Amino acid sequence: MSTAATPNLHLEDQVCFALYSAARAAQQAYRPLLDELGLTYPQYLVLLVLWEQDGLTVTALGERLHLDSGTLSPLLRRLEAHGFIARERADVDSRRVLVSLTPAGDALRERAADVQRCLLEAVTLAPAELLALRDLSRRFVGPEA
Amino acid sequence: MSTAATPNLHLEDQVCFALYSAARAAQQAYRPLLDELGLTYPQYLVLLVLWEQDGLTVTALGERLHLDSGTLSPLLRRLEAHGFIARERADVDSRRVLVSLTPAGDALRERAADVQRCLLEAVTLAPAELLALRDLSRRFVGPEA
DNA sequence: CTCAATTGAATTGTGCGCAATACTTTAGGC
DNA sequence: GCCTAAAGTATTGCGCACAATTCAATTGAG
């Protein structure tokens, strides 16, 4: 279809379009499940991090998710308004904002396990293919990320 | 780390987070290149489709890109404001809006080939891995897509 | 100690993505 | 022809992403 000298510009051949479509398809698969928890997908990702390690700063959350404060500040404000997290300035350095789970936020953890199960059932790829997709995607992000 | 009965909730193990991160990394790789053309990545995708087949309706564009009119209408308005496309109601059915390239939009096609070349150089994955990533992503989107 | 530089978070502005709604045009049933 | 239903697009509202800016708190050089 094309040579190295003339890269093809067909939509269907584009790796990045496939990634772009797959990422949105993933969010759409999550949406009905997360709706029941009152969460969006990025909010769910924040909780995934906090369930692993509570009490992180906004910057630390951003490093894990590759998001900056411009995205996280309003997102965390909504999570707080929904009662899932609390934010407080650190004593030692009042520039830092420590994000911690409320009991309600911690309680979501069990229900989130069901979300994972439902999603795995909906996916048509074989387990080994999912692992391959995950690892290729991670390496696409960068050698170190 | 986990069994089938208790799916793990670690961020780093999530396929969808890897996709989400990779898709955003792809857009960030495109951004500096597309900035020079005055395009965003979704706008670039629309032009990719039009370079293949000009004069499509909004719905036809949406089917190719998996986007609805809520996303495309303002995006096309901006592409039109920038002089890259024109929109006109179809004669046979004035509900349909035909989107067509202007000379300026058509001229971008050559410069876009350079964008592809720069991106391929920046990517660290081997060609075969890129194909694998593309095909797994497409199959993740759905058996039908 | 003082002041400039740096850090951490929030804010502002633009552009998606998507659900829900509205509006116009066309097609059908009669 | 008339009236209802359907199709095609646009609009509204909300929540990300991200660049750029702002602001307060801390650090460090002197």
pLDDT digits (tens, 9 = 90+) for B22-49: 999 999 999 999 999 999 999 999 999 9
Mean pLDDT of chain B: 93
The stretch B124-138 carries a mean pLDDT of 96
What is the distance, to the nearest Å, from the Cα of residue B72 to the centroid of all Cα atoms in its chain? 12
User: Tell me, what's the pLDDT at A37?
Assistant: 97
Across A71-75, B78-82, B111-115, least confident range:
B111-115
* Strand partners for B85: B101
pLDDT value at position A57? 98
Q: Is the pLDDT of residue B6 over 80?
A: no
Q: Which nucleotides of C are covered by protein (CB under 7 A)?
A: 7-13, 15-20, 24-27
Average pLDDT value over all residues in chain A: 93
Q: In Å, what is the CA distance from B15 to each residue of A109, A116, B23, B41, B109?
A: 18, 11, 12, 23, 34
Q: Is pLDDT at B138 greater than 50 in this prediction? A: yes
What pLDDT score was predicted for residue B145? Answer: 43
- CB < 8 Å to B145, chain A: 21, 25
pLDDT at A11 over 70: yes
Other C-beta atoms closer than 10 Å to the C-beta of A135 total: 14
Specify the 3-state DSSP secondary structure of A8: coil
Instruction: Output the pLDDT for position B144.
Output: 61
In a 10 Å sphere around its CB, with 0-12 CB exposed, 13-18 middle and 19+ buried, how is residue B78 labelled?
A: middle
State whether the beta carbon of B95 lies below 7 angstroms from any atom of strand C: yes
Confidence at residue A145, expressed as pLDDT on a 0 to 100 scale: 42
- Quick one: average pLDDT of A30-43? 97
pLDDT given for residue B3 in this prediction:
44
* A96 CB neighbours strand C below 7 A: yes
For chain A, give the percent of residues with pLDDT over 70.
93
Instruction: Report the percentage of chain B scoring pLDDT > 70.
Output: 93
The model's pLDDT over B77-103, given as tens digits with 9 standing for 90+, comes to: 999 999 999 999 999 999 999 999 999
Ramachandran bin of B66, using left for φ above 0, alpha for ψ from -120 to 50, beta for the remaining angles: left
Check the CA dihedral B97-B99-B100-B103 and report its sign.
positive
Q: What is the pLDDT of residue B4?
A: 47
**How far, in Å, is the CA of B56 from the C1' of nucleotide D24?**
53
Alpha-carbon distance of B116 to A11, in angstroms, equals: 12
pLDDT single digits (tens) A95-142: 999 999 999 999 999 999 999 999 998 899 999 999 999 999 999 998
pLDDT value at residue A7: 64
The answer to whether strand C lies under 7 Å from the CB of residue A28 is: yes
How many Å apart are CA A133 and CA A118, to the nearest integer? Answer: 19
Half-sphere exposure of A52 (CA within 13 A, CB side): 14
Would the pLDDT of B104 be above 70?
A: yes
| pLDDT confidence tier of residue B7, bands split at 50, 70 and 90 | low
Which band of pLDDT confidence, cut at 50, 70 and 90, is reported for residue B13?
Answer: confident
pLDDT higher than 50, residue A2 = no
Cα–Cα distance for residue pair A22/A26, rounded to 1 Å? 6
Worst-scoring range by mean pLDDT, A73-87, A130-144, B100-114?
A130-144
User: For residue A55, is pLDDT > 80?
Assistant: yes
pTM for the full predicted model: 0.93
Between B104 and A11, whose confidence is greater?
B104
Helix and strand counts by DSSP (H, E) for chain B: 6, 3
From B138's Cα to the closest Cα of chain A, the distance in A is 6
